[in-house]
Amino acid sequence: MKRRDLSETIALYIMSRTTEELTQLTRYSIADTFKINKSYLSKRFKEDFDLSISNYIDREKAVRSRILIANMERVTVEEIAQQLGIAKPQQFRTKFKKIFCTTPGRFIHYTKSPE
């Protein structure tokens, strides 16, 4: 498998996990699944995508959070963080804002506001 193909395969693997599986995903578990060294995985992924594998997983969690917010009638930031396996809601807020340039609370308000 070509180097870039490996990174793309791993990216697809991450995106195809259920939300529950995504909460358990680490570079260690991915390296084990693909039978490669965790340092090699990190280096290749960073070179190919200019993003660490941990940040890629965080981005996928952020994308999933928007889907969860849209599909839940009433939702809090704490509930979303919990569903994504993020122990501290503030950590979720920080990552969400970094990725989407808005807070999850504002996103919830915007998506749940009557038009």
Residue 115 predicted with pLDDT over 70:
no
Alpha helices in 17-88 (DSSP H): 19-24, 27-33, 38-49, 53-71, 77-83
pLDDT > 90 fraction of the chain, expressed in percent and rounded: 71
For residue range 62-89, what is the model confidence (pLDDT) as tens digits?
999 998 888 888 888 999 999 999 989 9
pLDDT in the model for residue 89: 92
- Total tally of structural domains belonging to the chain: 1
Summarize pLDDT for 4-58 with one digit per residue, the tens: 689 999 999 999 999 999 999 999 999 999 999 999 999 999 999 999 999 999 9
pTM equals 0.84
Name, in order, each residue with C-beta under 8 angstroms of 73's C-beta and a sequence gap of 6 or more: none
Task: Specify the pLDDT at position 74.
Answer: 84
Write the CATH number for 52. 1.10.10.60
Those residues with Cβ within 8 angstroms of residue 58's Cβ, 6 or more apart along the chain or in another chain: 95, 99
With a cut of 80, say whether residue 114 has pLDDT above it: no
Range of the domain at 11: 3-112
